[in-house]
Copies of this chain bind each other. A is one copy, B any other.
Amino acid sequence: MAQMDVYEAMRTLRAVRRLKPDPIPRDVLSRVFEAATFAPTGGNAQPWRIVAVSESASKQRLGELYADLWRNYTKRFRLFPADMPADVRERTERTLKAGDYLADHFGATPVIAMFCFNPKNMAITDSEQPRPSVVGGGSVYTAVENLLLACRAEGLGCVLTTLLCEREPEVRKLLAIPDPWYTAAAIPIGYPVGRGHGSLIRRPVAQLVYQDSWGKPFQS
């Protein structure tokens, strides 16, 4: 079993979009899935499932759907305005290139972990609020994050994607996902083509955490 300090795993978990088609040993994959099972969920209901897709035809079809959605989603990011700062443009181009690679190779990833959820087994406490609901995700994305961290520890690349939710009816049909189960994320997993994981670009605590009341920065 891969050993890695929990902070080290979190600090170096990148979105790895260039993945090799090489197969993943079954014991490695089992540990990654087991990590997901450890996650906390509301009432310990574990209202999620994974369909681990490695069969070629299904992956191919998911890849077609994904590439279509990706091209559509990124259209507006490709209109580089003339006054765009050079460094921002460069970073955007780099991200788009990695995303294009993923879109082109989605179906060749060794495993796509399709996370499903059952809203009937969730207490969705924000369902009455006049804004988009997120609380159901509290019993799914905790497990997703555990899976990503386990991939990191095992040297596997991976990236959390949700674009395929837009084509949920087709995805459900393809993978025989029954009522009342729906899709929350598709995570392609494979060994990295390049360096894979490494340092992150994130905002510091002082910008994201407040003390006692909104806007008062937390002093580290």
A contacts with B, residue count (CB < 8 A): 102
Q: Which residues of B contact A44 (CB under 8 A)?
A: 15, 201-202
Q: Which residues of B contact A40 (CB under 8 A)?
A: 13, 15, 145, 148, 159-160
User: What is the count of identical protomers in the complex?
Assistant: 2
Interface assignment of A60: CB less than 8 Å from any CB of chain B: no
Question: What is the predominant secondary structure among interface residues of chain A facing chain B?
Answer: mixed
Interface assignment of A6: CB less than 8 Å from any CB of chain B: yes
Bound: A134/B7 CA distance, A: 27
Q: Which residues of B contact A148 (CB under 8 A)?
A: 40, 142
Q: Which residues of B contact A34 (CB under 8 A)?
A: 205, 220
The answer to whether A132 touches B133 (Cβ under 8 A) is yes
Q: Which residues of B contact A134 (CB under 8 A)?
A: 117, 119, 133-134, 136-137, 140-141, 182, 184
Residues of chain A having any CB pair with chain B under 8 Å: 1-11, 13, 15, 26-27, 30-31, 33-40, 42, 44, 46, 48-55, 58, 73, 117, 119, 122-129, 131-138, 140-142, 144-146, 148-150, 152-153, 159-160, 162-166, 168, 175-178, 180-185, 200-205, 208-215, 218-220
Known contacts A38-B202, A51-B212, A134-B136, then 10 further A-B pairs from the complex at CB < 8 Å, ordered by chain A residue:
A4-B5, A15-B44, A37-B203, A49-B209, A51-B213, A73-B123, A134-B141, A138-B162, A145-B145, A175-B214
